[in-house]
Amino acid sequence: MKVLIIIPAYNEQDNIERVVKHLTENYPEYDYVVINDGSMDKTSEICHSNHYNIIDLPVNLGLAGGFQTGMKYAYQKGYDCAVQFDADGQHRPEYIAAMIRKIEEGNDIVIASRFVEEKKPTTARMIGSRLITTAIRLTSGAKIMDPTSGMRMYNKKLIEVLANNINFGPEPDTVSYLIKMGAKVAEIQAKMDERIAGQSYLNAVNAAKYMARMLISILLIQNFRNKKKVDFTK
């Protein structure tokens, strides 16, 4: 399989070199592309000085814009599957091989999940995750144990769908909507590392807003979207 790792990056000067170096030195069988989402720090400078494969967006489009840019690149280059991969060092590339096997078994999306074999801790953030899991199950029938995991793999058909359609951000509500369109989703057990440097935008307030936005989208807004079926067998 021809695999692309998509790394959206916004102000990740403290992490990007470590993340890409780990990939190129230990997982050279996978291609990668850094999507510099209008960073204001030295993210782009570091990537160019190291001759990394990078696409520079002239302005900050947000995660959805960076994600779709990566999907367009994957579609144009003919990749068989693409992996959404954080630039902060939390995602582990050793799980990619297991994700590929799930794609080969006929799944369209594979999620690196923290909670296939382990229970969710009782924290405010995980309560939000439980609510999203429940909302997806109520509206689609699918039980996704870790809907907020940002490490996801998409097959060739979904690369095409995500590259050529707007309003498909890399979020749980998109996963829920794609299930309704006919996508098959699998999860593998994985661990995530803690961010070593830099700051996540998901502080307590932003995390609460994010969870509320996802729930509203899954439970209400998606009822008004045209749920056309996609032939994932082609």
pLDDT tens, position by position, 29-68: 999 999 999 999 999 999 999 999 999 999 999 999 999 9
pTM of the model: 0.89
Q: Can you give the pLDDT at residue 129?
A: 86
Q: Can you give the pLDDT at residue 194?
A: 77
Q: Can you give the pLDDT at residue 209?
A: 86
Q: Can you give the pLDDT at residue 165?
A: 87
Q: Can you give the pLDDT at residue 189?
A: 96
Structure tokens at 49: 């000085």
- Given a contact cutoff of 8 angstroms between Cβ atoms, the answer to whether 137 and 220 are in contact is no
Q: Can you give the pLDDT at residue 183?
A: 94
pLDDT surpasses 60 at 104? yes
**What are the helix (H) ranges across the chain?**
16-26, 43-49, 62-77, 96-104, 124-140, 156-163, 172-180, 204-219
- Can you list the domains of the chain with their CATH numbers? 3-224 (3.90.550.10)
Residue 6 CA to residue 25 CA, distance in Å, equals 17
**What are the helix (H) ranges across 78-115?**
96-104
Percent of the chain with pLDDT over 90: 71
pLDDT surpasses 80 at 109? yes
Q: What is the pLDDT of residues 207-228, one digit of tens each?
A: 788 888 899 999 988 777 766 6
Structure tokens at 19: 């993340």
Q: What is the pLDDT of residues 125-178, one digit of tens each?
A: 678 888 999 999 999 999 999 999 999 999 999 999 999 988 788 899 999 999
Sheet containing 3-9: order of strands: 54-57, 31-37, 3-9, 81-84, 152-155, 109-113, 185-189
pLDDT surpasses 80 at 205? no
Residue 100 CA to residue 6 CA, distance in Å, equals 15
Residue 111 CA to residue 83 CA, distance in Å, equals 10
Residue-averaged pLDDT of the chain: 90
Measured over all CA atoms, what is the biggest interatomic distance in the chain, rounded to whole angstroms? 49
Residue from 165, 160, 179 nearest 109 by CA? 179
